[in-house]
Structure 1
């Protein structure tokens, strides 16, 4: 048990530290690119992302997760998964290539036709690397994946800045993403070489395909559920408001977009290895969920509280339509990141059926409420989205209680340090806000003071009332 815990904590520390440098570059890149591009540019790419992302998941068929989750995997199994995934990639690309004119016409965005056909090339690159990428995760070689992710993310950041300044417009976001995926694929093949030597056998992999189908179903529905505002809003509100929504999502997720990706990958691989040992699973769940909330709750709340100054100062007046969406999304994300964490744990434990049921709840509720609210604009659509998220949180929490034999008291003890300290920080910043606005200080000074006061308040409350949690964070940092 100590060996697994050491791998989990070491993996988290290694990848977190690598991502920190990349994340700082990503912040700078996002800000500068957003100042150059327009909301309509982001809207075009956001709409295309709905369909490209869907085809990516269809091509993957959940087979990467099946490889990680399988108790033993042979070369024949890997070959079979490789060829099936790549055959599906060809079919997915051809499907999207032929549908792109109709999608472009439906959304009344002529640029979508060419954007979809170029952006969907990423499907081939992703499918080619599905096996070595899964093998790295299966072996829990998080140091290797951290370095590869760091190099790929840096290439995206640098290329996006160069192309934005060179006048590539919305193609900046397309080309830089494809480049990053190519570098990622090359990296995983170098770290874990793999070449198929045959076609393998379907017969020995029926259970894996069944598991992969559950994961695929869950991921497709999850993707669609996360894109309902874009799917409906793109047709009702237009590409410019969808672009504002996309920027709001990007800003709201900036602090943890990479960190959460790390945690989910590590957690899935870790729980897959110990899925038959519930006490060990429970202990690791409590520890990692506490870490996740300690990092995410204050960041999401903090961004919502400083968003007024953040948008105006860093992005400019053309992005003011993203202001209220950022606040709504940040508060929603406290629940959303928990939901993601819960169903990744359940997937790792072999209960992808629960994840699928959770997604089906959203598939019914999200489009119904969001479409109804679309008559009142983007903010109303986001409020409808916000209403549904806690329902999924309650369902998944109840399932976690059952699967891990977790008690309400244990859960409360896990979430208390981060949530109590975050509420205290929020109260201080709200009280402070009226004083700062009355002072007529420049936006830069107000933003700086809010960040400093919020950070000081949060860590002070954590240190005074929840010292053990504070020490855990320090231990995590030192373990790097």
Structure 2
């Protein structure tokens, strides 16, 4: 009965999370369509450089304590209070440090506008530091409906604020307004939804175990962050803000919506996997199901996007962004490959394997840096190709690494991934072929025909029994998602 209730909670949580992320993706696409026409590639290039600094600080601001508090089998009121004050204090310190660092960042980059951008964005650390444990508490208690409402509302308010600022001629400051409005709205939202007010820090309540786990996760996330930003830094140094703006728009068009689906699902997967980690059979079942759900539902759309990059850019961004199309294809392929392997990251967190995750991340970060640097010798597109090659190398390493440190159903994960890749490859090639055959048609016609062709080819795989079994498993999960909890 408990297993059934947990499965139902996980499914309903996934339903609310996916619904919220669908709404956020729509808002993100609206942001791309509207702001790309009001702002220039240079504006986005400036923000991309500033967010390198902010993103680095965000790793230290969280200090891995969100995952540490969710993963813990038990969390007392005193521990939660102390974790809040640690995150809040780190946020204050990072705000001050980043504010001061804005001067050397602007001087080194020789972009004077960066000083003000970075200084204003430093306030994000303060906002997020106060919100961290309130958000983690909602995730731990699987109050994902409230969290979904907060995320969607904050995105909508931030988009409205950014568009208003852009229309008033604010330029790149419109993007700063969007970031700060998001942080403020999320803080207010989680405070209202959580209805929890921390008590003062107590030295009588130890949190060393949380800090130890968090420190390992910080190390892993820091290395992963270096890997994520190496392309931005390389392009900024070698090619300048204009090409960086093109690259950043393509990246944001694909990877931001993808992150808005995958990462929030961690708020469902992590507490659920943590609760069943002692039951190996159930744990394996959930992991396999998660990979299939992510792979098919996200992978097939990504493959179709890779094939239809040209009409998508024409519709979404406009003619002056045409050079972004081949980059988008590479980002979609990279997104597909990272999605197939994403459950591995969840296993590390659910099992509390912070030290092992750090060691694995060291290896894969070095691989990514090498790929990006080599790719940069072949121009902007070479960097995008390298971005897609890296996960193809890292994924088998991830499964091999995990199988050495913890029991995982590695054979079934390989088999499931193989089926996902076969389906998505065929679907993507069908969309690409249709796009080429209808190249003289309007972008909208190409998009509709290519989308239909890709979906039909993906559906054709259902003639095979193994794919029908996968579909049945996914449909059973969908039924749990829409079914109300029995009273």
Shorter-chain TM-score bucket reads over 0.9
Q: Distance in 1 between matches of 2:159 and 2:167?
A: 13
CA contact (8 A) 1:264 1:341 kept: no
Deviations 1:129-176 (A, max 9, x none): 112111111111112211211211222233233333332221222211
1:456 correspondence with 2:456: yes
Give the structure 1 partner of residue 329 of structure 2: 327
Q: Distance in 2 between matches of 1:360 and 1:408?
A: 22
Q: Distance in 2 between matches of 1:229 and 1:450?
A: 30
Q: CA deviation at 1:187?
A: 1.4
Give the structure 2 partner of residue 102 of structure 1: 104
Give the structure 1 partner of residue 310 of structure 2: 308
Give the structure 2 partner of residue 219 of structure 1: 221
Q: Distance in 1 between matches of 2:199 and 2:432?
A: 62
Of 243-252 and 72-81, more deviation after overlay is shown by 72-81
Q: Distance in 1 between matches of 2:245 and 2:463?
A: 40
Unaligned runs of 5+ in 1: none
Q: Given the alignment, which residue of 79, 90, 93 partners 1:91?
A: 93
Q: Distance in 1 between matches of 2:110 and 2:243?
A: 14
Note closer, same or farther for the CA distance 1:379–1:223 as it changes in structure 2 (3 Å cut): same
CA contact (8 A) 1:264 1:344 kept: yes
Give the structure 1 partner of residue 196 of structure 2: 194
Deviations 1:239-267 (A, max 9, x none): 11111111111122355332212222211
Note closer, same or farther for the CA distance 1:388–1:16 as it changes in structure 2 (3 Å cut): closer
Give the structure 2 partner of residue 230 of structure 1: 232
Give the structure 2 partner of residue 382 of structure 1: 384
Unaligned runs of 5+ in 2: 483-487
Q: CA deviation at 1:268?
A: 1.7
1:447 correspondence with 2:444: no
SS of the aligned residue for 2:198 comes to coil
SS of the aligned residue for 2:458 comes to helix
Q: Distance in 1 between matches of 2:21 and 2:378?
A: 39
SS of the aligned residue for 1:200 comes to coil
Give the structure 1 partner of residue 138 of structure 2: 136
Matching of residues 52-201 of structure 1 within 5 Å: 52-201=54-203
Aligned residues: CA RMSD: 2.1
Q: CA deviation at 1:122?
A: 0.7
Q: Distance in 1 between matches of 2:78 and 2:33?
A: 47
SS of the aligned residue for 2:206 comes to helix
CA contact (8 A) 1:211 1:352 kept: yes
Q: CA deviation at 1:118?
A: 0.3
Give the structure 2 partner of residue 344 of structure 1: 346
SS of the aligned residue for 1:197 comes to coil
Q: CA deviation at 1:43?
A: 0.7
CA contact (8 A) 1:275 1:350 kept: no
Give the structure 2 partner of residue 358 of structure 1: 360
Q: Distance in 2 between matches of 1:300 and 1:418?
A: 12
Give the structure 2 partner of residue 11 of structure 1: 13
CA contact (8 A) 1:300 1:334 kept: yes
| TM-score with structure 2 setting the length | 0.92
Give the structure 1 partner of residue 468 of structure 2: 467
| TM-score with structure 1 setting the length | 0.93
Q: CA deviation at 1:195?
A: 2.3
Q: Distance in 2 between matches of 1:163 and 1:455?
A: 39
Note closer, same or farther for the CA distance 1:429–1:382 as it changes in structure 2 (3 Å cut): closer
Q: Given the alignment, which residue of 19, 22, 26 partners 1:20?
A: 22
Matching of residues 401-480 of structure 1 within 5 Å: 401-402=403-404, 405-437=407-439, 440-462=440-462, 466-478=467-479, 479-480=481-482
Q: CA deviation at 1:389?
A: 2.4
SS of the aligned residue for 2:142 comes to coil
Q: Distance in 2 between matches of 1:436 and 1:44?
A: 37
Q: How many residues align?
A: 478
CA contact (8 A) 2:128 2:183 kept: yes
